Amino acid sequence: MNRTGISAIALLIVTLFFCGCVQVIINPQLPGGAAATSTVIPAVVPDTPVLPPAQNPVINAPETTGTQSPKFIVPVGDLTRIGHRTFTFNYAPYSGSHEYTIRVLVNMSVYYGARQTKVYLPPNAQYPEAIKAYISTFESDPAMEELYNNVLLELRNARYRNGGYLSDDEYFELIVAFVQQIPFVENPSPKRRYPIEVIYDKAGDSDEKSLLLVNLLAREGYDVALLVYEDLGYETTGVRVIDEVPDSSLKVFSDGKKDYVFIDAGVPRFIGSVPDVFVNSDDPAIYPVGNGTKSYGPINYVWMVVADLKTMVKLGKITRATVINPWDKFGTCSMIKNSKALQNTTCYCCDM
């Protein structure tokens, strides 16, 4: 090519450049840097997703004001990857004690997302909106619905065991027995495990298992609430009762309109029975969950069992070796009556 041709080409390139017809990409993080080419490399999703840093800010009430928002899980990895967990637990309806086995499917992308989402219980009622947002985080998260539905599908099948049918009160007790018998493991971290973590890890502390229990019961139409003990930094489930409890063997908590009794989700314990650590604590704040209307009916039958057991403890008739099954109130009453341990005292169970 002659000099005239080369000069013409060079002139054309310069003209196109100043007209904006040629774009030079500059790295925006390096002002004045050299030109760079842009290459898109397809992302490789491993079989086991690599956990990214937490993607949402922590709900932490003391540093916030105004209306709070719930914090929802961002699934991580393959949305179609499914795991499962099998649980075996005991429950005794009127027909006697039974062993139940359920198998729960778990969406692993939601599980990995939950592990990376940090949520803490706000410290006190000075931030009620933050506590409500905390509750809504577990109650309203769309990513959690599949987990709740999978657990309840199994429990509903268990309700119709061998052609039998559990009443609403018995079904309530069945759900409570299932959650109570998930292994209790103390969580040293202030971060709460999500219910999906409790299911997949087959472990949770009392607070975490309460969040699972209250959401299962609310979805089955029960009038339940989260009872928040602010002085202890602890939460548990409460269920509405209508019948009056005769004495303080079972403590009743009221929000001025409805009465609730304590349910210990952490370990097997009779509904309404309050652990000693809570006897002298401040009453909990009551935060209803869901719009359920069903109350728990046989609270006075449970009261009879608990009252007699407390009497037996005072008499020294119950030791650590005594086997008591809190999922079987009628079996426990039978043990109390047959042992004659309450001879010459008031035996409430003897009327059952």
Per-residue pLDDT of the chain (352 residues), as tens digits, is 544 444 444 444 434 444 444 333 323 332 333 333 333 323 322 333 333 333 333 444 344 444 568 889 999 999 999 999 999 999 998 767 899 999 999 999 999 999 999 988 776 656 788 888 989 999 999 999 999 999 999 999 999 977 789 999 999 999 999 999 999 999 888 888 999 999 999 999 999 999 999 999 999 999 999 999 877 778 899 999 999 888 888 999 998 999 999 999 999 999 999 888 887 788 899 999 999 999 999 999 999 999 999 988 888 888 878 889 999 999 999 888 887 777 778 889 887 7
Which of 103, 106, 105 shows the shortest CA–CA distance to 88? 103
Quote the tokens at residue 142: 């769309």
- The whole-model pTM stands at 0.80
What is the distance between the alpha carbons of residues 342 and 160, in angstroms, rounded to a whole number?
A: 37
From CA 301, how far away is CA 173, in angstroms rounded?
13
At residue 123, the pLDDT reads: 67
Nearest-CA neighbor of 218 among 159, 170, 289, 315? 289
Q: pLDDT value at position 158?
A: 94
Could you say which DSSP state residue 272 is in? T
Strand partners for 288: 225
Instruction: Give the pLDDT of residue 126.
Output: 64
Per-residue model confidence (pLDDT) at position 125: 59
For the chain, list the strands marked E by DSSP: 82-91, 98-107, 224-229, 234-241, 252-254, 259-263, 285-289
CA distance 81 to 342: 56
User: How do residues 270-306 score in pLDDT, each as one tens digit?
Assistant: 999 988 888 778 889 999 999 999 999 999 999 999 9
Q: What is the rounded CA–CA span in Å between residue 49 and residue 47?
A: 6
Chain-centre distance of CA 338, in angstroms?
39
Largest CA distance in the chain: 125
Q: What is the pLDDT of residue 318?
A: 84
Q: What is the C-alpha separation between 235 and 277, in angstroms, rounded?
A: 13
pLDDT in tens, 157-191: 999 977 789 999 999 999 999 999 999 999 888 88
Gap between the Cα atoms of 123 and 162, Å rounded: 46
Q: For the chain, what is the mean pLDDT?
A: 81
> Strand 98-107 and strand 224-229: pairing?
unpaired
Contacts of 204 (CB under 8 A, 6+ apart): 182, 183, 184, 185, 187, 193, 197, 198, 212
Distance CA 52, CA 56 (A): 11
Give the DSSP H/E element, type plus range, for residue 39. Answer: none
Render pLDDT for 312-335 as a digit per residue (tens, 0 to 9).
Answer: 888 888 887 888 999 999 999 988
Q: How far apart are CA 332 and CA 325, in angstroms?
A: 7
CB 100 within 8 A of CB 161: yes
Return d(Cα 68, Cα 261) in angstroms, integer: 28
Residue 296: predicted pLDDT: 98
